[in-house]
Structure 1
Amino acid sequence: MIAAAESETPDPVAIQVAEEIDTALIALSDPDRAKGTRAYLHSDLNHYGVPVPEVRRVVRAAGKARPALTHADLVAVTRTLWTPTVHDTRLAACLWLEAHTDRLTLDDTALLAELVGESGTWALVDVLSGSVAARLLLREPRTEAVYRAWAAQDEMWLRRSGILAFMLGVRSADTFPRWFPVLGEIAEPLLDDTRFFVRKALGWVLREASKKHPDAVLAWTAAHVDRISGLTLREALKRVPEERKAPVLHAYRERA
């Protein structure tokens, strides 16, 4: 039976909602899939083996059944789902926040940072940052300062989150002019970071920006071709036509 953390005062509503979600996930468990997912993610957590779309469906159904939950209740459900060392319930906690992002505030970035710091895997981090934090940015631009601070941290997952939090902002044609310059400022000092998950995040967000603004992404990568990694560059230009990205790729190969 799922329960609140021992250090917290039990919240009956949160425990009930979390137990319902946990029960539904256990009913969908697949031991073979759990074993494969655990190996794929190099995870130390327990796994039920529930596919992500099914976890999302269970979480959304639980939320729709209780539309009147307070903000405190929403946070309590998140923490209650997160407490067990089970990947699927922690993913449910992330997707619960995703489903209720419209209820989150600037102060909730502290909760996001806490969960990111405890995640230990991109499979949780990317929902918290590329979805929840990114959606919150569009509603609450003051989160920019928080995300800039995340990206400036040396801790890998928090740094990755500080990058991915701008994904939706640069993807949309409407918000691109506001957030692409900010992304560029954040990304420039991170080009020297040699870690895969940081380089991949930089390329991923640039790739999203290139879908509607390839010229801007080409110009940015060309301006930093002396420092950008091959991984970041390939990811950034993946959606750009071959003939258009050829000069930048050539410059990258010819750099000293």
Structure 2
Amino acid sequence: YFTPASIPFIQKWVTTKSWWDTVDAIASHFAGVVFFDYPETATIMDEWIDHENMWIRRTAILHQLNFKDRTDSDRLFHYCKKRMDEPDFFIRKAIGWALRQYSYVDATAVIQFVKTYESDLSTLSKTEALKALKREEKI
């Protein structure tokens, strides 16, 4: 069972087992659980989104993947805005994936976000964000 005391272990795990498949599982199943069960720890993700380590930043973007209608959309969109100019493939893909997962809950909000930041988001992020939407819903 993961608690706030697990956060240093999770951070170390992300930085020592750094590859997308491992980090994605850690982000959504371990880090996400801690921050979902202990919302007072969410500000740690606000630090992680600016972390020097790309995998920690990816974890911050992806940690809400399984939150569904309990996603903190303000935080999600804020993180996507903060990192949308990063050239790294893994960050761009994470932005798109996180937005796509949220589109199952609030497609309108995701479409609006992509429209608003269309010139700032990478093609990969936009494609991934809108992938689950029906053709007529897409921009």
User: What range is the shorter-chain TM-score in?
Assistant: over 0.9
Larger radius of gyration: 1
Q: CA RMSD in A?
A: 1.2
After superposing on structure 2, the runs of 4+ consecutive aligned residues of structure 1 that deviate more than 4 Å are: none
Asked if structure 2 preserves the Cα contact closer than 8 Å seen for 1:109 and 1:143, the reply is no
Identity %, equivalent residues: 27
Q: 1:208, 1:131 → 2: CA distance?
A: 15
| Equivalent position to 2:79, from 186, 197, 208 | 186
Q: Which amino acid aligns with 1:213?
A: D
Q: TM-score, normalised by structure 1?
A: 0.52
| Equivalent position to 1:233, from 103, 114, 126 | 126
Q: Which amino acid aligns with 1:125?
A: V
1:66-119: per-residue Cα shift (whole Å, max 9, x none)? xxxxxxxxxxxxxxxxxxxxxxxxxxxxxxxxxxxxx22112111100110101
The SS at the match of 1:153 is coil
- 2:34 equivalent to 1:139: no
Q: 1:156, 1:104 → 2: CA distance?
A: 23
- 2:136 equivalent to 1:243: yes
**Alignment length (residue pairs):** 139
The SS at the match of 1:142 is helix
Equivalent residue for 1:159?
57
Asked if structure 2 preserves the Cα contact closer than 8 Å seen for 1:106 and 1:142, the reply is no
Equivalent residue for 1:113?
11
Q: TM-score, normalised by structure 2?
A: 0.94
| Equivalent position to 1:213, from 94, 98, 106 | 106
Q: Which runs of 5+ in 2 are unaligned?
A: none
Residue 143 of structure 1: how far off its partner (Å): 2.3
Q: Which runs of 5+ in 1 are unaligned?
A: 1-102, 249-256
Question: Could you say which structure has the greater relative contact order, defined with CA pairs below 8 angstroms and 6 or more residues apart?
Answer: 2
